Amino acid sequence: AQTVTQSQPEMSVQEAETVTLSCTYDTSESDYYLFWYKQPPSRQMILVIRQEAYKQQNATENRFSVNFQKAAKSFSLKISDSQLGDAAMYFCAYWAVAGNTPLVFGKGTRLSVIA
């Protein structure tokens, strides 16, 4: 079964600095998607960024970018110029194209932003 591991339960970053959140996953599939979701105190799940496994180029969305290492099964999220509004739980998720499998989530990393 696919698993997603987020080894950092909590992280903190100074406002305007850069922080990287780690995620590793285990799969035997070759075609899949990886996601980072943000869950602020409002508890709403917000998609931050998505990476398709067959694309070698790392995805970017404004201040958010990923480092996707397919061979190492690693998918880290880099947040640049951190803002107070970035404080939230961040969940890494995996989704295999074949087999109609659901999203598999990691347990999350709680990010604090220090003013």
Choosing from 2, 8, 50, 64, the residue that interacts with other proteins (CB under 8 A) is: 50
Q: Which DSSP string do the residues of 17-75 spell out, in sequence order?
A: S-EEE--EEE-S-SSEEEEEEEE-TT---EEEEEEETT--SPPEETTEEEEEETTTTEE
Which of these, 48, 113, 110, 98, lies nearest to 75 by C-alpha position?
A: 48
Choosing from 44, 62, 69, 83, the residue that interacts with other proteins (CB under 8 A) is: 44
- Nearer of residues 9 and 72 to other proteins, judged by Cβ: 9
Choosing from 86, 91, 111, 113, the residue that interacts with other proteins (CB under 8 A) is: 91
64 binds other proteins (CB under 8 A): no
97 binds other proteins (CB under 8 A): yes
- Nearer of residues 22 and 52 to other proteins, judged by Cβ: 52
